[in-house]
């Protein structure tokens, strides 16, 4: 006898589980239970891993999740938001697994449907906030002549350049080649972030409410849910890979300009290249996770019955679905801790006050041993740029002929500063 419900499909007395909602009373129960038990343990470890990184940054380094002093509507700190949202995601996935393994609230289809979908919105939100934070920071930070001059007056490396040296093109101007305005970035980012919480929750709740009384309508909402998920993940994956490619090209442009202006050693160029490699790696992880998940979701939305009724296919998709998120989270955590300075310095070839810079003065001539190690984009480094920008406005009225942005100059340096640079505004 054939029977059909939201949780089971039965043919000739053999029942198959929709493993999103239940893993018992079907031919593949034993294998599904093992998959969920392993997922629970793995998600617990990954959540502990990401939360440790977040606490270190939040308590020890004093970071915050959002910059409320920004002109943007919502300006997340990319790494901090990524770690926090991934922690919530893995904890909720662990809770979902525990509910299915212990088989609590078995008849409450609304709760089970919602609890299966809700964690993924946090994982998706982690990727969306990371992309939004990077895009807003690049669009907002302006590495123009004034800021560039500030850095090289703050650190005594001025005579490292020829007297007629001109700072590179504005970073903000270069960023405009591929970034829209701040308002447009806000709109796109908030759309990416909020739509799944609205549309997907409506579909998940509707399928749970109608599952017991209107099975056909409930299954339509399930298919719509995963078509929407495919659209969300596919769009974000495309945005991530597009922004990643453009960002690497932007950094390559700056690298060429610094190579032409600075007699940097090959080792310094290799460090900058290593920083771009880390960016490519992180973008690759996000793209593969989002793109892979989009494909799985589309397959499930279109071929739900065929997948459920195939034991090998059900095992395969269940395992991929349950482990893709924790694996992506794990590799993201590794990317953050593999190099402690992965998010501490920008990949723009600029020196930093906390780095390995040594200098000596002989007859007014200043030299430097090296530029800083470079790595992937950093919330800390961009915070430093913003602080200098704020200091410039606070000390603007106190500038004179021997000061630029509040930093005193040696007499031998004043002839290198043009009047427009002394009065430049952000």
pLDDT value at residue 173: 53
Question: How many residues make up the chain in this entry?
Answer: 426
- Which residues, 6+ apart, have CB-to-CB distance to 382 below 8 Å? 137, 141, 346
- Mean pLDDT is lowest, of 27-41, 102-116, 254-268, for 254-268
Q: Of all residues in the chain, what percent carry a pLDDT higher than 70?
A: 62
pLDDT band of 178, cuts 50, 70, 90 = low
Domain limits, the chain:
3-394
Query: Are the C-beta atoms of residues 286 and 127 closer than 8 Å to each other?
Result: yes
Q: Which residues of 26-64 are buried (b: 16+ CB within 10 A; e: fewer)?
A: bebbebbbebbeebbebbbebbebbbebbeebbeeeebe
The number of helix segments (H) and strand segments (E) in the chain equals 14, 7
Summarised one tens digit per residue, pLDDT across range 221-259 is 999 999 999 999 999 999 888 877 877 777 777 677 666
- Beta bridge pairs of residue 14: 11
The residue among 342 and 88 whose pLDDT is bigger is 88
Please report how many Cα atoms fall inside a 13 Å half-sphere around the Cα of residue 110, on the Cβ side.
6
pLDDT at 264 > cutoff 80: no
Q: Return the CATH class of domain 3-394.
A: mainly alpha
User: Highest mean pLDDT range out of 114-128, 181-195, 381-395?
Assistant: 114-128
pLDDT at 262 > cutoff 70: no
- Which residues, 6+ apart, have CB-to-CB distance to 171 below 8 Å? 138, 141, 142, 143, 144, 254, 348
When the pLDDT of each residue in the chain is averaged and rounded to a whole number, the result is 72
pLDDT at 319 > cutoff 80: yes
The residue among 138 and 397 whose pLDDT is bigger is 138
Query: Are the C-beta atoms of residues 296 and 320 closer than 8 Å to each other?
Result: yes
User: Highest mean pLDDT range out of 261-270, 302-311, 369-378?
Assistant: 302-311
Q: Tokens 């998600």 belong to which residue? A: 43
Query: Are the C-beta atoms of residues 248 and 280 closer than 8 Å to each other?
Result: yes
């Amino acid at each position: 006898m054939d029977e059909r419900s939201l949780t089971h499909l039965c043919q000739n007395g053999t029942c198959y589980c929709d493993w999103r909602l239940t893993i018992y009373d079907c031919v593949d129960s034993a294998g599904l239970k093992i998959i969920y038990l392993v997922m629970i343990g793995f998600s617990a470890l990954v959540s502990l891993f990401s939360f440790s990184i977040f606490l270190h940054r939040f308590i020890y380094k004093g970071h915050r999740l959002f910059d409320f002093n920004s002109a943007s509507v919502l300006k997340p700190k990319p790494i901090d938001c990524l770690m926090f949202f991934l922690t919530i995601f893995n904890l909720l996935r662990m809770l979902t697994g525990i509910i299915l393994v212990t088989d609590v609230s078995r008849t409450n289809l609304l709760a089970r449907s919602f609890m299966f979908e809700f964690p993924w919105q946090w994982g998706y939100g982690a990727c969306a906030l990371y992309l939004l934070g990077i895009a807003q920071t690049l669009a907002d930070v302006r590495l123009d002549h004034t800021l560039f001059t500030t850095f090289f007056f703050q650190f005594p490396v001025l005579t490292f350049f020829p007297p007629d040296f001109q700072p590179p093109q504005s970073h903000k101007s270069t960023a405009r080649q591929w970034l829209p305005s701040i308002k447009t970035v806000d709109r796109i980012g908030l759309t990416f972030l909020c739509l799944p919480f609205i549309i997907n929750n409506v579909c998940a709740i509707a399928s749970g409410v109608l599952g017991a009384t209107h099975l056909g309508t409930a299954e339509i909402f399930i298919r719509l849910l995963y078509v929407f998920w495919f659209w969300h993940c596919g769009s974000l994956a495309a945005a991530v890979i597009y922004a990643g490619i453009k960002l690497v090209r932007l950094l390559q442009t700056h690298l060429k300009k610094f190579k032409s202006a600075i007699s940097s050693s090959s080792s310094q160029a290799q460090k900058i290249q290593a920083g771009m490699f880390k960016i490519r790696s992180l973008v690759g992880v996000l793209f593969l996770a989002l793109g892979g998940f989009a494909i799985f979701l589309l397959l499930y939305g279109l071929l739900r019955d065929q997948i459920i009724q195939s034991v090998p296919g059900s095992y395969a998709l269940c395992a991929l679905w349950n482990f893709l998120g924790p694996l992506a989270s794990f590799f993201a955590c590794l990317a953050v801790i593999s190099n402690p300075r992965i998010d501490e310095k920008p990949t723009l070839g600029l020196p930093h006050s906390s780095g390995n810079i040594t200098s000596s003065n002989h007859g007014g001539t200043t030299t430097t041993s090296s530029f800083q190690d470079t790595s992937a984009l950093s919330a800390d480094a961009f915070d430093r740029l913003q602080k200098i920008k704020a200091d410039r406005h606070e000390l603007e009225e106190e500038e004179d002929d021997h000061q630029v942005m509040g930093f005193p100059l040696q007499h031998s340096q004043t002839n290198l500063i043009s009047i427009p640079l002394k009065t430049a505004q952000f």
